[in-house]
Chain A
Amino acid sequence: GNSVTQMEGPVTLSEEAFLTINCTYTATGYPSLFWYVQYPGEGLQLLLKATKADDKGSNKGFEATYRKETTSFHLEKGSVQVSDSAVYFCALLDAQGAQKLVFGQGTRLTINP
């Protein structure tokens, strides 16, 4: 079945550091890929998405590129801020339109000033 694997957390960085959170997936066909962010006490917010190979999603300084050859969708940001501290989830949408998201286990990110 479809699955998503994220790098183990937690991840702790200093402000202005470079961020990479790895995400790889297993799926039949060509799923759409997403990054969601969850701040403490809140639900999930869509951060960015990509719907086909080589697409780059971007938002709020975060970027991720859909790499079909490596089945990856790594999240990157050039200079993190304390306000980026949250849990980040990589997810895929079944290409057959199963109407559900399959999530990775989440990566907790803490940014220290």
Chain B
Amino acid sequence: KAGVTQTPRYLIKTRGQQVTLSCSPISGHRSVSWYQQTPGQGLQFLFEYFSETQRNKGNFPGRFSGRQFSNSRSEMNVSTLELGDSALYLCASSLSGMRYNSPLHFGNGTRLTVT
């Protein structure tokens, strides 16, 4: 069974640009969550999608957005990139979300560097 797949693995962007990251969940998983990992702030929750609807959102500015498609694949977009957006972005999928004790399975992440 394939795991959570995130593409691309590495990305270098310039300040002011926008970027789209992709996540393919484990087959059958309907919940996809996104987390940002930085050395200074650690792991922080961005948002969670379930059946194409955003179900929960963290404390990030509106430049961070996401969506989920009917096949449960998810994308997140960051517009007007800032240097502080440099981070490892982790996607995690689960059958139905953690409220129902469904464990999260993480991908290997996309490393975004903003110059």
Contact = CB atoms under 8 A, between A and B. Distances in A.
B42 A51 contact: no
B58 A100 contact: yes
A97 B104 contact: no
Interface in B29-57: 31, 33, 35, 42-45, 48, 55-56
Contacts of B108: 41-43
Contacts, number: 56
A43 B99 CA distance: 21
Given A43-B90, A89-B43, A106-B42, A99 B104 contact: no
Contact of A93 (B4, B98, B106, B109): B98
B112 to A, nearest CB: 15
Contacts of B66: none
Interface in A30-57: 32, 36, 41-46, 49, 51
Nearest to B101: A51
B9 to A, nearest CB: 9
Nearest to B43: A103
Nearest to B99: A97
Contacts of A101: 35, 43, 45, 98, 104
Contacts of A104: 42
11 contacts: A32-B101, A41-B108, A43-B4, A45-B106, A46-B103, A89-B43, A97-B99, A99-B98, A100-B58, A101-B104, A106-B42
Interface of A: 32, 36, 41-46, 49, 51, 89, 91, 93, 97-106
In the A-B complex, the 9 residue pairs with the closest CB atoms:
A43-B106, A97-B99, A103-B43, A100-B45, A44-B106, A99-B56, A43-B108, A105-B42, A43-B107
Interface of B: 4, 31, 33, 35, 42-45, 48, 55-56, 58, 90, 92, 97-99, 101, 103-109
Given A51-B101, A99-B31, 6 more contacts: A36-B106, A43-B90, A97-B99, A100-B48, A101-B35, A103-B42
